[in-house]
Amino acid sequence: MGYLIKVEDKTIYHAGDTDLIPEMKKLGSVDVALLPTGDKYTMDSVEAAEAALLIKPKVAIPMRTWGKDPKEFKERVETNSDSEVIVLELDEEFHIK
């Protein structure tokens, strides 16, 4: 189950623990998409990149990586879209501009 969170003029999509689903294409304008990429009960990097390409967020942030390198996710998304991928380190924060 995913959540669309609207704060002021920004929209954040938190995908939760999910797989790639067609409904992602219908989310509308998304500023930040938080997508699981770890392939443990969730999408793997390839599926998560496909999700990002469907959603077309301004920023995509891989989460629940389960120690896997998000490099493939970042390369696939940034090569095939205008989305920027931000890879956060443990305890690092991201602030929407």
Q: What HEC string does the chain produce? A: CCEEEEECCEEEEECCCCCCCHHHHHCCCCCEEEEECCCCCCCCHHHHHHHHHHHCCCEEEEECCCCCCCHHHHHHHHHHCCCEECCCCCCCCCCCC
In a domain, 97, yes or no: no
Q: Give domain status of residue 3, yes or no.
A: no
User: What is the tens place of the pLDDT at every residue in 11-39?
Assistant: 999 999 888 999 999 999 999 999 999 88
Angle between the N-to-C axes of helices 71-80 and 45-55, in degrees from 0 to 180, rounded to the nearest 10? 30
Residue ranges making up the domain that contains 70: 8-85
> How far is Cα 26 from Cα 11, in angstroms, rounded to an integer?
14
Residue at 96 is within a domain: no
Does 76 map to a domain?
A: yes
Q: In what order do the strands lie in the sheet with 32-36?
A: 3-7, 10-14, 32-36, 59-63, 84-85
Q: Is residue 69 part of a domain?
A: yes
Whether residue 94 is contained in a domain is answered as: no
Asked if residue 21 lies in contact with residue 50, where contact means CB atoms within 8 angstroms, the answer is: no
- Give the tens place of pLDDT for each residue, 73-97: 999 999 999 999 999 988 999 998 8
Residue 42 has pLDDT above 80, yes or no: yes
Is residue 65 included in any domain, yes or no? yes
The answer as to whether 92 is a domain residue is no
Instruction: Work out how many domains the chain is built from and give that number.
Output: 1
